[in-house]
Amino acid sequence: MKKFILLVLICNFSIFNFCKADEGMWLPMFLKAMNETDMQSKGLKLSAEDIYSINKSSLKDAIVHFGGGCTAEIISDQGLMFTNHHCGYGQLQEHSTVENDLLTNGFWAKSHEEELPNPGLTATIIVRMEDVTKQVLANVTSGMTDAERDKKVNEAMVQIAKDAIKDTHYGAYIRPFFYGNEYYLFVTETFKDVRLVGAPPSSIGKFGGDTDNWMWPRHTGDFSIFRIYANKDNLPAEYSKDNVPYKPKYVIPISIKGIEENDFTMVYGFPGRTTEYLSSYAVNMIMNESDPAKVKIRETRLAIWDVDMKASDKVRIQYSAKYASLANYWKKWDGEIRGLKKADAINKKKLFEQDFLLKVNTDDDAKGKYGNLFSDFQKMYSEISPWSKQRDYHSEAIMGIEAVSVASYFYDIVDAIKSGKKASDLQKRIDGTKADVADFYKDFNAVADEKICAAMLKTYIDNIDKTKQASIFSEIEKKYKGDFKKYAKDIYSKSIFVSEEKVQEAMKNLDKNYKKIEKDPIYKLMYSCLSKYKQEVLPKYMELDAKIASLNRTYMKAMRELIIDKKYYPDANGTLRVAYGKASGYYPKDGVHYDFYTTLEGVMEKENPSVDEFIVFPKLKELYKNKDYGQYANKKGELPVAFCASNHTTGGNSGSPVFNGEGQLIGTNFDRNWEGTMSDIIYNPDQVRNIVLDVRFTLFVIDKFAGAGYLLNEMKIVK
């Protein structure tokens, strides 16, 4: 009987648990041991050492963590980088005015002197990575509580990172992997002088806008160009006119030879976050509770902003970056819900859990350690569900009101004044808040936000049980009888938080003016909601979340102990990873097939002069009409724009270089397909595709459209 059970288990695990083709975000330091043979069998001509090495220059030395949230790649010996247009969008917005609208018109520096500095923007390169699991867990014992364990782990991580960079200019951080079963050290070099070199107009860089976001087929020229500057010793330095272009250890060659279907592709970048090993209970809460709530709230905010942005160029420029950011994950979550349903994710997880538990129950030792895992998961998710809902509605609805958000800057400051905090400590905090306030109001519109306020409060009160709402809602009900438009109009007419001048004036003598702030109607709304959240919701949520994290760590440990034939890749956590697959189309639904690449022809087919998202520049139309594609056309005479492939990617991979088998740049990763957004949770090889800007279109825009071909002189182009 036991033999029969084991045979069933082997069959089921092969279906539900082993890595599917092209799945995985792999740590480059382990490619030699885990992936090199497989990658080479699929078309890679490089060795693992060519991709990641600490003994010689390698591809890793040209992979840049851009601004902490995207990836970029170094493509010249003068520190020139490609990343996405949407990754550089905030910088383009910062440099834009109504009179000099870089978002609409694009930007091309004709010399180093014309390149634009971007305070606060950083470019980080990995120097090396190291397994420090033993050191981190050296003082952790089995009898510790989770809190005690976390304390020892955090203390160890701080000390190990500090020791690793002693007497150097490097930075360092340690990240947990496999839910805290392993820990890795990353030593980094961070450059703080990063300048904007070029970007196409939004009609190219954002072509298709929110309509096409997360979609395939795609025709977006989603790129921008930046340059890293260093001091005269080629070391990181704050911005200075004396700084010079950075001389990198490695420069990525660019191929314009093109790509064919089923060709090998590799993505190298900094994927943000995935959760591939969640239980069915977690997936159920995401798919049926959390994602739907966030989608609904963001849909409301976006609709209000859209009307005001279309009515005013000033509002459009103020809110363009914020709108794009908000819309990005609104659409992603919506696609994730659909993708999880299509993949039957919950039932697949449940089937795996049934088989896993059957395997556990065949081993007395495993049963003792892991027998209660899923009943514990069920209990914890049942308890955390209502607190998770309150957390979502607080962060998305209440804090989605911008005036409430800026008022929250003063929450701790006012409490500190009242508690007699030392003047020196307090002044430092106030000075930092002054800068935050100035930055906030540059892109704030009170008329639009008043509408948001009324809508978000209505959404909150309609979805959160009355007994769990902040106390101010009972006051609003008594005075305004549920008329949130009337309430919003009243508080926005009286509050200082709709005006930068009034807020800055109040900050001049906060030790005296704090009482005025306390009486402010928007501050009172914020204070009631944030106090409820900080004092009741967040502590309970964090308590339960910590228990779930501990269960996840145990579950991960159990999987790796009991299922030893599987190659495990760690969830993405913002650290350097390699993903590989092939250029490939797919079937999004019955009877429909998408090809693996798109061309300029598709841009013209989508053109709609009456819709901002689908306007085509006259110069681009002229080039299309004349078929003036130069060396960037494919064998059929078409101008490729984008292609899709089966690489496993996520947020943070935006701007990542996409390589052919020879390690040459063939494109820049910029999105995923809508049908495949559930890949953060469960990978479906038939549906998951990353979307890539073909480098030939990038070079075409730089050269033929923008007339900035001088930039190509810096690049190593392989024909």
Residue 60's Cα: distance from chain center in Å? 20
DSSP readout, 436-458? HHHHHHTT--HHHHHHHHHHHHH
Q: Say if strands 592-594 and 586-589 run parallel, antiparallel, or are unpaired.
A: antiparallel
Residue 256 CA to residue 528 CA, distance in Å, equals 59
Residue 201, classified by CB atoms within 10 Å of its CB into exposed (0-12), middle (13-18) or buried (19+), is buried
Residues designated as active site: 86, 222, 654
Mean pLDDT of 471-479: 94
Mean pLDDT of 484-504: 95
Residue 190 pLDDT level (bands cut at 50, 70, 90) = very high
Span 286-340, pLDDT tens digits: 999 999 999 999 999 999 999 999 999 888 888 888 888 898 889 999 999 999 9
Q: Name the pTM for this structure.
A: 0.88
Q: Which CATH class, in words, describes the domain spanning 9-122+192-274+572-718?
A: mainly beta
The per-residue pLDDT for 18 is: 47
For 321, residues 6+ apart whose C-beta sits below 8 A from its C-beta are 89, 90, 93, 443
Residue 214 CA to residue 702 CA, distance in Å, equals 25
Tell me: pLDDT of 12 over 60. no
Residue 423 pLDDT level (bands cut at 50, 70, 90) = low
Count of Cβ atoms closer than 10 Å to residue 438 Cβ = 12
Return the amino acid letter for 244: V
Span 660-700, pLDDT tens digits: 999 999 999 999 999 999 999 999 999 999 999 999 999 99
From residue 120, give the alpha-carbon distance in Å to each of 312, 368, 443: 29, 52, 17
Q: What percentage of residues in the chain have a pLDDT greater than 70?
A: 96
Residue 565 pLDDT level (bands cut at 50, 70, 90) = confident
- What are the sequence ranges of the domains in the chain? 9-122+192-274+572-718, 280-560
